[in-house]
Amino acid sequence: MLFAVAFVALGVSAIGGVGYVVSVADSVDLDEMDQVDPGAPSVVYAKDGTRLGYLPGPVLREKIRTTEMSDLVRNATVAVEDRRFYEHAGVDVEGIFRAATRNISEGGNAEGASTLEMQLIRNLWTKDTTSSLDRKIREAKLAQQLEDRHPGREGKTWVLTTYLNTAPYGTVGGQEIKGVEAAARVFFSTTARKLTLAQAATIAGLPQAPSDYNPYQNPEGALARRNDVIRRMAQQGYVSTSEAAAAQAKPLGVKNGGTYYTTRRERFFLNYVRTKLIDKYGKKRVSQGGLKVYTTLDLRKQELARKAMADKLDPSAGDPSAAVVTLDPATGDIEASTGSTQFGQNQYDLATQGKRQPGSTYKTIVLTTALEQGISPSTSYPAPGSLPIPSQYGTGVVKNFAGEGSKGGSMDLKTATLKSVNTVFFQLGLDVGMKNVTKTARAMGITSKLQSYPSESLGAAEVTPMEIARVYATIANGGMRVTPRAITKVVFGDGSVKRPEPVRRTRGIPKDVASEVNRILQADIKGGTAASANFGCPAGGKTGTTDGPSDVWLAGYTPRMSTAVWVGYPGSRKTIVSTTQAGGNIQGASVSAPIWKQYMASAHGDYCGDFQGLVPFTGTKGRRGSSTSPNGTGTTDQYGNPTGGTGDSGSTGTGSTTGAGTSGVSNAYPADSYETPPAPAAP
């Protein structure tokens, strides 16, 4: 081998020198070595490909193409690192002899002889930085093999581009800068394509001693190194003498661009995505970086949601905060997830972590449970303005928000939904069984802890806007529970593609039940408590207001969007006393509905279609029919859910036409309380 003879000049005795070099060289083979991942930060993209930001990681690096690098930085690198780069075949024999001669005459290591190929081998294959002759012999052997893999001028272009994408350029904020693109951004707040001669020379001079020549830490040393690089470029004909002089006369001119990698959009959502990545791949793998993460977030809808909140609420006037979540009912894609507060003002994300009482939006779950048990929405209940709580459930009185109902009056379930009558739904929750209501809540997408207390029928639970949006998506899509997903795909550093969150659709409730609830909620948005949210397109919805009120909601949907809007004070149960828009009349219709309406009117885009595939309500038993077991045991239906089950009192349904507990109704109230009996269960 020619390089074996050359290495004799570096100090190996002539006798046996060639044999020694060959022996060391034969100990390595590029074909048997794996390339080291140079690392890179993980980058997260929105649905349209817009970069949301980089996740924290140990390495700052962006891989770019040859055409994205200026000729100046490429030529500067060759001039200072390997001036015979285009002439040698991976090992610069002439350079080895030149270096040996200089080192012998001056003593020590005045000049090295590593080519760009050899440095690339060190950066991407061996990671060996020891100052030994053996290391150089191995690098030389591997560099020749690399040259054989990438021959000719095209191969030289590949080597130089790969080197410039992986070379070390120092550290900033504890993160290692690798690659010329990251160096250009960090030191000059620009790109490798736009580097000037002076900037390109500064960067090209860094890899040999990144700390010594760091322009932030040692500007004098960096300036001297830059001017030396420019001098070499002029000597080798890359720039003219006048161009070199002009560039050398310029100040160092560094511009701190480190914020490029720390500036992030939608930081709450980014944190949510990072948590999902860690859940799937582990904290260690995520912290290593190098991932390209593509998400479902629609930036247009994000901005429209924030605008709707800002237009309707004024924090400077004491108005509360708000959160908006939109899911695609067909896929569960999280298209919008934002709050009115800035990142850092709260410890948690209002949209995905803010657990609040959903108020009457939870009544949709109670209604769904009743329909699943075969109870017709035409079934009438007593609808007094207030109702004593049965003693076995505690003490107190259930009251309607606006005093609806009167002593001796009654109301069917559809009307009670449109008027959001508490006394009716409290009775209904007890009759269908609160444990059954909890099962329905799970089937529709609630994952937070539930107690199955009677008060939950009126929304006395703790859930997030994300969960409520998921519940209403189940109604919008015909009863399929979708899993919210933020990530469509992840591309790893080796080019492999993973899909950690595939679309997941599970039958949650029967289609006829979902269709009937959908029809009722469409009526609610046309003329019920949610009427002020009507924006002219087919939609369904339900308002929600808690005691105080401290939380107000509007949850609703179109065929393509399920959106939950919450308004309240983060971190407290402070009563909402006034708002800019509502003027003190606080309820879901007056606070959350205007936000929901403005947002949905603009976010729905050109589509304003009707719901497809609605089917008639059969009134037959769904997932949970009657059971003779006081503990609610029994068989399972086609969805894998138990068909048995009773109400909280544990009594069984009689199937009586008087309405006494048919289809799992628990007789929490006497049979003669019904004006119209529930629809009988299917035989």
DSSP string, 25-51: HTT--GGG-PPPP--B-EEEE-TTS-E
DSSP notation for 129-141: ----HHHHHHHHH
258 belongs to a structural domain: yes
More confident residue, 661 or 479: 479
500 belongs to a structural domain: no
What is the pLDDT confidence band of residue 214, given thresholds at 50, 70 and 90?
very high
Distance between CA atoms of residues 581 and 559, nearest Å: 29
Looking at the structure, tell me whether residues 172 and 253 fall in a common domain: yes
364 in Cβ contact with 474 (< 8 Å): no
126 belongs to a structural domain: yes
What is the pLDDT confidence band of residue 39, given thresholds at 50, 70 and 90?
confident
Kindly report which listed range (75-84, 130-139, 465-474) carries the lowest average pLDDT score. Answer: 130-139
The residue out of 151, 175, 197 marking a domain boundary is 151
pLDDT at 81 over 70: yes
Looking at the structure, tell me whether residues 18 and 146 fall in a common domain: yes
pLDDT at 137 over 80: yes
Residues 392-430: pLDDT tens digits?
A: 888 889 988 766 665 558 899 999 999 999 999 999 999
Looking at the structure, tell me whether residues 88 and 129 fall in a common domain: yes
176 belongs to a structural domain: yes
Contacts of 130 (CB under 8 A, 6+ apart): none
Distance between CA atoms of residues 483 and 495, nearest Å: 27
Kindly report which listed range (7-11, 19-23, 186-190, 249-253) carries the lowest average pLDDT score. Answer: 7-11
- Strands 51-55 and 42-45, how do they pair? antiparallel
Contacts of 566 (CB under 8 A, 6+ apart): 322, 323, 350, 354, 356, 465, 468, 551, 552, 553, 592
Return the pLDDT at 138.
87
Looking at the structure, tell me whether residues 119 and 12 fall in a common domain: yes
Share of the chain above pLDDT 90, in %: 64
Return the pLDDT at 343.
66
Distance between CA atoms of residues 569 and 591, nearest Å: 13
Return the pLDDT at 30.
83
What's the rounded mean pLDDT across residues 575-582?
Answer: 63
638 belongs to a structural domain: no
Looking at the structure, tell me whether residues 130 and 253 fall in a common domain: no
Kindly report which listed range (17-26, 215-224, 371-380, 397-406) carries the lowest average pLDDT score. Answer: 17-26
What's the rounded mean pLDDT across residues 547-556?
Answer: 89
What is the pLDDT confidence band of residue 542, given thresholds at 50, 70 and 90?
very high
Looking at the structure, tell me whether residues 140 and 244 fall in a common domain: no
What's the rounded mean pLDDT across residues 308-318?
Answer: 89
Q: What are the structure tokens assigned to 48, written together?
A: 């349209």
Question: Domains in the chain: how many in total?
Answer: 2
Question: Among candidates 254, 296, 250, which has minimal Cα distance to 273?
Answer: 296
What's the rounded mean pLDDT across residues 564-581?
Answer: 80
Return the pLDDT at 95.
59
3 state SS for 148-197: HHCCHHHHHHHHHHHHHHHCEEEEECCEEEECHHHHHHHHHCCCHHHCCH
Return the pLDDT at 681.
34
369 belongs to a structural domain: no
Dihedral over alpha carbons 142, 144, 146, 148 (to 10 degrees): -140
For the ranges 16-20, 114-118, 446-450, the maximum mean pLDDT occurs at 446-450
What's the rounded mean pLDDT across residues 496-502?
Answer: 96
Distance between CA atoms of residues 148 and 204, nearest Å: 26
What's the rounded mean pLDDT across residues 217-227?
Answer: 96
pLDDT at 47 over 90: yes
Element (H, E) at 491: strand 487-491
Residues 160-181: pLDDT tens digits?
A: 999 999 999 999 888 999 999 9
463 in Cβ contact with 446 (< 8 Å): yes
DSSP E strand stretches across 229-317: 292-295
Return the pLDDT at 638.
26
Q: What are the structure tokens assigned to 4, written together?
A: 């074996």
What's the rounded mean pLDDT across residues 345-359?
Answer: 86
Residues 394-403: pLDDT tens digits?
A: 888 998 876 6
What's the rounded mean pLDDT across residues 99-111?
Answer: 48
Q: What are the structure tokens assigned to 560, written together?
A: 């393509």
Looking at the structure, tell me whether residues 138 and 4 fall in a common domain: yes
372 belongs to a structural domain: no
Range of the domain at 27: 1-32+80-151
CATH number of the domain where residue 208 is located: 1.10.3810.10
Dihedral over alpha carbons 446, 448, 452, 458 (to 10 degrees): -70
More confident residue, 120 or 131: 120
Looking at the structure, tell me whether residues 122 and 214 fall in a common domain: no
Distance between CA atoms of residues 383 and 311, nearest Å: 38
Looking at the structure, tell me whether residues 17 and 143 fall in a common domain: yes
Looking at the structure, tell me whether residues 107 and 16 fall in a common domain: yes
pLDDT at 111 over 80: no
What is the pLDDT confidence band of residue 633, given thresholds at 50, 70 and 90?
very low
Q: How many CB atoms lie within 10 A of CB 515?
A: 21
124 belongs to a structural domain: yes
The residue out of 151, 183, 201 marking a domain boundary is 151
Looking at the structure, tell me whether residues 103 and 180 fall in a common domain: no
505 DSSP β-pair partners: 482
The residue out of 200, 229, 262 marking a domain boundary is 262
Residues 403, 409, 412, CA angle at the centre, nearest 5°? 90
Looking at the structure, tell me whether residues 130 and 195 fall in a common domain: no
Return the pLDDT at 267.
93
